[in-house]
């Protein structure tokens, strides 16, 4: 197990690299979901405020 973690001496470069890649992968998932939630909340608010007919046609 320790041999695996040591990665033949490259550990101090290898694991941070994996950490960065992993972080960006997870961050993108979080960002995307948050962005969608925010867009849905905005749309809900717009529908509630403007209703059906005000939104069609020209943007207020």
Partner 1 sequence: MTWTWFHRLGSPPHVYRLAERLTPWFAWPAGLLIVGALYGGLVLAPPDYQQGDGFRIMYAHVPCAWMSLMVYVTMATASAVGLIWRMKVAYAVAASCAPIGASFTAATLMTGMLWGRPMWGTYWEWDPLLTSELLLLFLYLGYLGLRSSFDDMQRADRASAVLAVVGVVNVPIIHFSVYWWNSLHQAPSVMKLGAPTIALPMLIPLLMMFLGFTLYFIAILLVRLRGEVLRRERSASWIREVVTP
Binding site for partner 1 (CB under 8 A): 4, 7-10, 13-14, 16-18, 20-22, 24-25, 27-29, 31-33, 35-36, 38-40, 42-44, 46-47, 50-52, 55-57, 59
Q: Which residues contact 46 (CB under 8 A, 6 or more apart)?
A: 55
Q: Which helix (H) or strand (E) holds 22?
A: helix 11-55
Residue 32 CB, shortest distance to partner 1, in Å, is 4
Residue 44 CB, shortest distance to partner 1, in Å, is 5
How does DSSP classify residue 10?
T
């Amino acid at each position: 197990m320790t041999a695996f973690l040591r990665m033949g001496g490259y550990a101090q470069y290898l694991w941070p690299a994996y950490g960065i890649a992993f972080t960006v992968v997870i961050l993108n998932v979080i960002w995307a979901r948050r962005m969608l939630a925010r867009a849905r909340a905005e749309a809900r608010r717009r529908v509630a405020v403007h209703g059906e007919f005000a939104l069609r046609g020209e943007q207020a």
